[in-house]
Structure 1
Amino acid sequence: MPKNFKVINIHPTKKLKGTKSKLLENKKIVVGVTSSIAAIETPKLMRELIRHGAEVYCIITEETKKIIGKDALTFGCGNEVMEEITGNIEHVALYDECDAMIIYPATANIISKIALNIADNIVNTTAMMFLEKKPLFIVPAMHENMLNAIKEHIEKLKSKENVYFISPKMEEEKAKVASIEDVVGFVIEKIGNKMDKKVLILNGGTAEFIDKVRVISNLSSGKTGVALAEAFCREGFDVEVINALGLTPPYYIKTHKVLTAEEMLNKALEIGKDADIIISCAAISDYKPESTSDKKISSENEELTIKLKRNPKVLEELRKEFKDKIIIGFKAEYGIEEEELIKKAKDRMKKYGLDMIIANDLSKHYFGDDYNEVIAISKDNTIKKIKGKKSEIAKEIVSMVKKLIIPRRCQ
């Protein structure tokens, strides 16, 4: 052993825990791996589960080792990989300790054996322990002909309580294993934690129709809203996003798609009833065409005059409807002095009764930039200048929002 060699007591995988969310925090999940070529994706699956807070254990069939080595799977889960049942009765211990089991990938052989109550290896024996007792997620991967051949077994298992099949992707006559995002998203949906505080984020750029194909819009990228959604998730908030044009939030964040300012407002009024905090960082259209053509306007016209009318102010309507919720707005200006920017932001905060406002000058960092400079102002007149990556700014904003929550709990 080299002189300066240090023994690693904690597997580096543990550093990943909860880096995306706390949706699976304190959940223990056993992943059973069988001998499909899709097994090479299993380390990625296990690491994604860990990023949402789960503790992951891995069991494999003997044949699986022909596809993927144990070291790769240990790398994925950070725990010792088990391949047989010993005097430690691993199948019982895993059932007692774990909240759910995922078989990824699941071959025709393993699915059929579970359906027929055959327990001749550690994976199907452990599955028998979970069957109809705790959630068992089965993720098939095989040739289409084999999938068709075991339909009877699949239907039998689907009829059982707490058994969930995650459908494969049918390509090139193959039932290819579902994506990691689909699997983890489904697992979160079924066994994920229910968070205490709910945040609703309005994000992206809205668009207003001129005719059936043309719109008036803006260049909002949606990056700020997505960064905020991710940051709140990491802090254990229940996050929903109403998203117009621009970047879409990741799969584990519930997202509602809208396009116009009216749709944005109506959806916010609907979902906002259950939210504790509402944040509007969307670039919402101030105006819309007074009339909209019900067909495509001819491009042969020499001139086209469009008369605009005001849209309702979303922040104003939200405050009218939700008098006791924490509401946070954004104020974007272009090419003005900092003092004037702060004044305009404070005026808007007072006008709409906001708890906080985030102001920025678009002449410094325009739409779509990964960096920004903002001034965050709270209703207690706390003013904080924040600059850097939008992900870093989002983290600072979350910290400020958390301080707003504490006084309300004491009221």
Structure 2
Amino acid sequence: MAETSVLSGKRILLVIAGGIAAYKSLELIRRLKERGVRVRAVLTRAGTQFVTPLSVQALTEDTVYQDLWSLTDESEMGHIQLSRDADLLVVAPATANLLARMAAGMADDLAATVLLATDKPVLVAPAMNVRMWEHPATRDNLALLEKRGVRRVGPNKGEMACGEYGFGRMAEPMEIVQAIAAHFEELDAPRPLAGKRALVTSGPTVEPIDPVRYIANRSSGKQGHAIAEALRRLGADVTLVTGPTRLPDPAGCTVRPIETAREMLAACESALPADIAVCAAAVADWRVAGESDRKLKKDGGGPPSLTLAENPDILATLSQPGPRRPALVVGFAAETGNVVDYATAKRIRKGCDWIVANDVSPGTTTFGGADNTVHLIRADGAEDWPTMGKDAVAARLAEAIARHFNPPSTPALQETIP
């Protein structure tokens, strides 16, 4: 397995908090041990309600640390040393309670103290009820932690032990293993966009007709979210402005959720200045000029007459010359025919530097699908890319952006002596 070599010999301190997902942590330990990882565990008091210290100890083959005030544990390995004697701290499951205590800088038990005292990177795998996950307090806590450099994997969407459905399920053990491996791979990988600020838009916009109905489109946000993640991997400080999607927020990015095109424009302008802007969102061209504050009723007189107004042009606005214009502005063109010709004209009309053109004709499954076929259009011509997964498209685009800011050096011309 690719991740085995990068993980072999690594030291992980696993913090197991109190949630039903704690049972997955036992599988996580086993998978990490298979790859040559040394795992130590901190088990919270609430965590012992779901897994036993003995089971954790049997799998880690090491002491399970539980009590901040244990003289034995402190004499064998104090909490300061425990917090720093690892290459990475992983919190799985990371409950809403523990995330809140981490954000507040509390040190009221061993787990919180270790996380506060560490000078090593931290990866969290959130797990909680969907309402807790969506609560503004949790979102604010997580945003603060990510701003401080804490990384995240998940949560996933699905049915929960409480019977509700939505985001909040802890990532599966192998997903966490892959996230851990990706962390160590990135440590050795070049970061050509370090120090650059990137703005990415993603998803659809939703334009209300009344409190129930709206105008939208089929964009899933998969491509925009993948681009945000790819730019972050290359070292950029990424702000993602996204319309409603069913996707988890990309780890390490500042995420600003919006609904309407006007909200997206305001969020983009507030994210400036930026070095890079990638407008991958499918912004609705029109909105209802006078949306109703009450649900429109069928009254037998036929359908209501809707007057449409044009939405702001976000790509053109960001492309306008001026001191706040990003150095590189990349737009997207979703076309159903004459893709390259229409996109080339759009690049000139909007004033952006590059256009990524894709075919969204019926049958292409571009909207909502996993693959994309794109053409990168610049002032010097069009570059046709083969069909590939949206993650691969994002990685290739991010690499092209990195080369734009870090062009290969040209060897100095040597004088020819006759």
TM-score with structure 2 length normalisation?
A: 0.63
Structure 1 residues 308 and 258: CA distance shift in structure 2, 3 A: same
- Cα distance between partner residues in 2 of 1:287 and 1:245: 17
Q: Conserved in 2, the CA contact under 8 Å of 1:33 and 1:42?
A: no
1:351 to 349, 352, 358: 349
Counterpart in the other structure of 1:254? 254
Deviation at 1:260, TM superposition (A): 0.3
Q: Secondary structure at the match of 2:344?
A: helix
- Cα distance between partner residues in 1 of 2:313 and 2:17: 56
Alignment of 1:89-104 (within 5 A): none
Alignment of 1:171-190 (within 5 A): 189-190=147-148
What letter matches 2:330 in structure 1? Answer: I
Counterpart in the other structure of 1:361? 359
Indicate whether 1:41 and 2:43 are aligned.
Answer: no
TM-score with structure 1 length normalisation?
A: 0.63
- Cα distance between partner residues in 2 of 1:36 and 1:312: 45
Indicate whether 1:121 and 2:102 are aligned.
Answer: no
Deviation at 1:239, TM superposition (A): 2.3
Alignment of 1:102-251 (within 5 A): 110-111=66-67, 114=68, 116=69, 118-121=70-73, 125-129=77-81, 154=108, 162=116, 189-192=147-150, 195-250=194-249
What letter matches 2:28 in structure 1? Answer: K
Counterpart in the other structure of 1:264? 264
- Cα distance between partner residues in 2 of 1:182 and 1:39: 27
Deviates more, 1:194-203 or 1:282-291: 194-203
Structure 1 residues 245 and 33: CA distance shift in structure 2, 3 A: closer
Deviation at 1:376, TM superposition (A): 1.0
Deviation at 1:61, TM superposition (A): 8.4
Deviation at 1:159, TM superposition (A): 9.5
Counterpart in the other structure of 2:279? 280
Deviation at 1:36, TM superposition (A): 11
Q: Which runs of 5+ in 1 are unaligned?
A: 1-9, 18-26, 49-54, 74-80, 84-104, 145-151, 172-180
Q: Provide Cα deviations, 1:370-395, integer angstroms capped at 9, x if missing partner.
A: 12211111233252333122122222
Structure 1 residues 46 and 237: CA distance shift in structure 2, 3 A: farther
Alignment of 1:65-76 (within 5 A): 66-68=54-56, 72-73=59-60
Counterpart in the other structure of 2:167? none
- Cα distance between partner residues in 2 of 1:314 and 1:278: 11
- Cα distance between partner residues in 1 of 2:394 and 2:292: 40
Percent identity, aligned pairs only? 25
- Cα distance between partner residues in 2 of 1:47 and 1:238: 32
Counterpart in the other structure of 1:77? none
Q: Which has the larger radius of gyration?
A: 1
Deviation at 1:136, TM superposition (A): 9.1
Q: Conserved in 2, the CA contact under 8 Å of 1:207 and 1:260?
A: yes
Q: Secondary structure at the match of 2:265?
A: helix
- Cα distance between partner residues in 1 of 2:408 and 2:266: 27
Structure 1 residues 204 and 155: CA distance shift in structure 2, 3 A: same
Give me the CA root mean square deviation: 4.9
Indicate whether 1:13 and 2:12 are aligned.
Answer: no
Q: Provide Cα deviations, 1:298-347, integer angstroms capped at 9, x if missing partner.
A: 1335221101111111111112263342110001111x2xxx32222122
Matched length: 327
Alignment of 1:23-62 (within 5 A): 30-31=13-14, 38=22, 41=25, 44=28, 58-60=39-41
Structure 1 residues 352 and 407: CA distance shift in structure 2, 3 A: farther
Q: Secondary structure at the match of 2:78?
A: helix
Q: Provide Cα deviations, 1:96-155, integer angstroms capped at 9, x if missing partner.
A: xxxxxxxxx97xxx23xx2x4x331379733144689x999988999x9xxxxxxx9938
Indicate whether 1:333 and 2:287 are aligned.
Answer: no
